[in-house]
Chain A
Amino acid sequence: MNVQGWTFVIVSLSFALYIVIAIWSRARSTGEFYVAGKGVHPIANGMATAADWMSAASFISMAGIISFAGYDGSVYLMGWTGGYVLLALLLAPYLRKFGKFTVPDFVGDRYYSSVARVVAVACAIFISFTYVAGQMRGVGVVFSRFLEVEIEWGVLIGMGLVFFYAVLGGMKGITYTQVAQYCVLIFAFMVPAIFISIMLTNTPIPQLGFGGRLAGDAGVRIAGGESVYLLDKLDGLHEELGFAAYTSGKKAMIDVLCITAALMVGTAGLPHVIIRFYTVPRVRDARASAGWALLFIAVLYTTAPAVAAFARTNLIASVEGAYYDAEQAPEDGRVIPKWFRTWEDTGLLAWVDKNGDGRVQYRPGKAFKGKPSFEAPADAIDDRGHLLGRGLAGQRLVTNELGDNANELDIDRDIMVLANPEIARLPNWVVGLVAAGGLAAALSTAAGLLLVVSTSISHDLLKKTFMPQITERQELLAARVAAAAAVIGAGYLGIRPPGFVAEVVAFAFGLAASSFFPALLLGVFSTRANREGVVAGMIAGIGFTAGYIVYFKFVRPDLNSAEHWLMGISPEGIGTIGMLINFVVAHIVSYTTKEPPAEVRELVERIRIPKGAGEAHEIEV
């Protein structure tokens, strides 16, 4: 069977599995809809959290980003895993003991203020929506690339599926489908990684092959007869071509520190992640499921940098100096690998022969300005059957203005994961598996985020703020209607993404770090933090962070470089400073205003003790 056939079969099978699970686990009460009846086993919850957390970006883009950034890519690895330590130690057990449904619930009760609750709802919806639009887009992109349907249709199919199990099953349906989605995505990520590790280092464990010597079929060829460590070879190749060494970075240390911290703290403040810890039966299960979640995430996050290094080494070794056209190559000359042309046809890779020697020259800098815009479609032919828009060697010509450097190659970073199966010459079903894995990653994250949006509307806004008299039945109906509306809204943003979405998603972490995290942390660890302090802190923190980002990204993008930044901290890392401002302001204002009422101090004392979490939930449902 060909690639498309296999992709179709595997993707259909995985979708059928999700639908069966959704029907089996549909929700019957608000408790089941919001928090799966608080009956999820910690290991299952760990898997669901991992799938919820790992988005299309983690699955497809992260290894590619690291591949091009080398050491600097470590900020994502440490940032997106280190946040779980904060969650497990500082938030998850206490919020579970608090024992209600949502993050705004905690903020509203702990700070005895419906204003604080509504502000928290607005933040939760804003963060979730920007994030979910990216996921829907990811679904569309995977569909269009692997099954050759229009992006719009891909988004619609994804919407239909999420609609089915999120609206019907609520948190319960989502949790069990996410368990299945984790299994699909981790299998799809590991199979190509293991094969590439064997090809380059003769070790089936990528984490070890990463530090091993070049060996195996392709490894021996790259090593060229000497016995050398993969990372040394990679650093050597980088040095030869004029790139910064792979194992040392280019970014300033303070910026690396701040970006890592902002990502860690932001992770711990994301509402769709926090809400997962409400679904387990006991406080100690909340702690344990944070551990399991981190373990399941670590499997992918320790493999990704290995894949990044393998792909980078293989890329440079196989394309640098290779002839594009086999007929132009001399007897002993290397020719570009087959996947090079396949991905050139998709438009994700482009080669401009600046010096006209017919060989690919890969150097630092951008080969040309912007994304490649080709003279003609890949399959365009004239009336004599010749391909149109081709150069002397047969390469696709671009119309972009060329960059003022020696680099001739432009590569989309997503190729690094998507092309792995072809680079490793794996059978066609593996390509189908990678497509199913990318879809699982995008759909599971989208469903978790949509649930936050629907819960925020039906529970926090309707039941708790504006219409407290509605019955549980009506609330459940409202939750389903809100989920349905959210799916449609997200789908629309996926089909017609406004320009700012991509920019904003990257900063959702900074915003979560500078707003939610300090409010939640102080809510547990300080009995003195009061309404005035926390509201002032949140406004100061998010105001500063958003202002800084908007200034450098939208108002004066021409100034967005290290010499203009505050202390050399980029907009990506500024959330760390925003968080510190939030803490300082909240502290000062809390101590200069009236202390919180006695029942709030009792609430804080109570959530610090695990005993009685079960009872709290009996009262609640």
Chain B
Amino acid sequence: MSDDDSRAKRYWMANLRLTLFLLTIWALVSFGCGVLFVEPLNRVRIPGTGFKLGFWFAQQGSIYTFVVLVFVYVAAMKRMDRRFGVEE
């Protein structure tokens, strides 16, 4: 296997790990906090507001998290592209 091939493979594995990690958070805030655990979370309130935590995740928090996740991905991939020398 040539150097290029194994570097491409390592780049791809690193990419998959990052993607999987971010998608875990994605599922946790939406399907987790917003739906599955919404009732126990609703017993907690965000201090100083009228938001029940589960309801807030379903209608506000999950969306904020999504935006952050994508920008984290953009920044992390930019660094990774450079580290593996595959940037455009």
Chain B hits for A78, CB < 8 A? 30, 34, 58, 62-63
CA distance A284 to B66 in the complex (A): 18
A56 to chain B, nearest CB (A): 21
Contact call B19/A90, Cβ cutoff below 8 A? yes
Interface string of A171-198 (1 = CB under 8 A from B): 0000000000000000000000000000
Complex interface: chain A residues within 8 A of B60 (CB): 207, 210, 302, 305
Instruction: Given A74-B58, A85-B26, answer yes or no on A609-B66 (Cβ-Cβ < 8 Å).
Output: no
- Contact check, B49 vs A211: say whether CB atoms are below 8 A apart: yes
**Cα of A609 to Cα of B81 in the assembled complex, Å:** 9
Which A residues are CB-close (under 8 A) to B38? 71, 248
Q: How far, in whole Å, are A611 and B4 apart by their CA atoms in the complex?
A: 12
Return the CB mask of B26-56 against A: 1 if under 8 Å, else 0.
1000110011101100100010011110011
Shortest beta-carbon distance from A295 to chain B in Å = 5
Contact string against B for A residues 250-294, beta-carbon threshold 8 Å, 1 for contact and 0 otherwise: 000100110011001000000000000000001110011011001
Question: Chain B contacts of A93 at CB under 8 A?
Answer: 77
Are A605 and B8 touching (Cβ within 8 A)?
Answer: yes
The answer to whether B66 and A294 have CB atoms under 8 Å apart is yes
Centre residue among B26, B59, B88 by max chain A CB count within 10 A: B59
Counting chain B CB atoms within 10 Å of each CB, the highest count among A66, A257, A260, A291 belongs to A291
B58 touches A229 (CB 8 A): no
B63 near A211 with CB under 8 A, answer no
State which residues 69-115 of A face B: CB under 8 Å.
Answer: 71, 73-74, 77-78, 81-82, 84-85, 88-90, 93
A610 contacts the other chain (CB 8 A): yes
CB distance from B72 to the nearest CB of A (A): 9
Scoring B36, B58, B69 by chain A CB atoms within 10 A of each residue's CB, the highest score goes to B58
Contact in complex: A74, B34 (CB < 8 Å) = yes
Interface status of A512 (Cβ within 8 A of chain B)? no
Contact A282 B88 (CB under 8 A): yes
Contact A212 B50 (CB under 8 A): yes
Within A313-330, the residues touching B (CB, 8 Å) are: none
* A211 touching B66 in the complex, CB below 8 Å, given contacts A78-B34, A89-B22, A257-B31: no
Whether A231 pairs with B50 at a CB distance below 8 angstroms is yes
List chain B residues, Cβ under 8 A from A282: 88
Please, what's the 1-or-0 string for B6-35, where 1 marks a CB less than 8 Å from any CB in chain A? Answer: 001001100100010011001000110011
Chain A residues 285-312 with CB under 8 Å of chain B are 287-288, 290-291, 294-295, 298, 301-302, 305
* A287 and B66 form a contact (CB under 8 A): no
Chain A positions within 8 Å of B74 at CB level: 88, 284, 287-288, 291
Q: Which residues 228-242 of A sit at the B interface, judged by CB distance below 8 A?
A: 229-232
Does A247 reach chain B (CB closer than 8 Å)?
Answer: yes
Interface residues on A, range: 35 or more
A213 at the interface (CB under 8 A from B): yes
Q: Is B3 an interface residue (CB 8 A)?
A: no
Q: Are A84 and B66 in contact (CB under 8 A)?
A: yes
Q: Which residues of chain B come closer than 8 Å to A90, judged between CB atoms?
A: 19
Q: Mark A198-227, 1 if CB is under 8 A from B, else 0.
A: 000000000110111100000000000000
Q: Give Cα distance in the complex from A385 to B35, angstroms.
A: 57
> Is B58 a contact of A88 with CB atoms below 8 Å?
no
Question: B30 — which chain A residues lie within 8 A by C-beta?
Answer: 78, 82, 260, 264
Give the contacting residue for A287; candidates B8, B62, B77; CB below 8 A: B77
Contact digits for A377-395, partner B, Cβ 8 Å, 1 yes 0 no: 0000000000000000000
| Shortest distance between the CB of B61 and any CB in chain A (Å) | 10
A211 to B55, CA, bound (A): 11
C-alpha spacing A213/B52, complex, angstroms:
14
Which A residues from 581 to 617 make CB contacts under 8 A with B? 605, 608-614
Q: Is the CB of B36 within 8 A of A613?
A: no
B87 CB contacts on chain A under 8 angstroms: 284, 610-611
Chain A residues whose CB sits within 8 angstroms of the CB of B55 once the complex forms:
71, 74, 231, 247-248
B30, closest chain A residue (CB):
A78
Q: List 13 A-B contacts (CB under 8 A).
A: A77-B62, A81-B66, A82-B30, A82-B66, A89-B70, A211-B49, A264-B30, A294-B66, A298-B63, A305-B59, A305-B60, A608-B11, A610-B86
Known interface pairs A85-B70, A231-B55, A294-B66; 11 further A-B residue pairs with C-beta atoms within 8 A, sorted by A's residue number = A74-B59, A78-B63, A89-B23, A211-B51, A261-B31, A287-B70, A298-B63, A298-B64, A298-B66, A305-B59, A611-B88
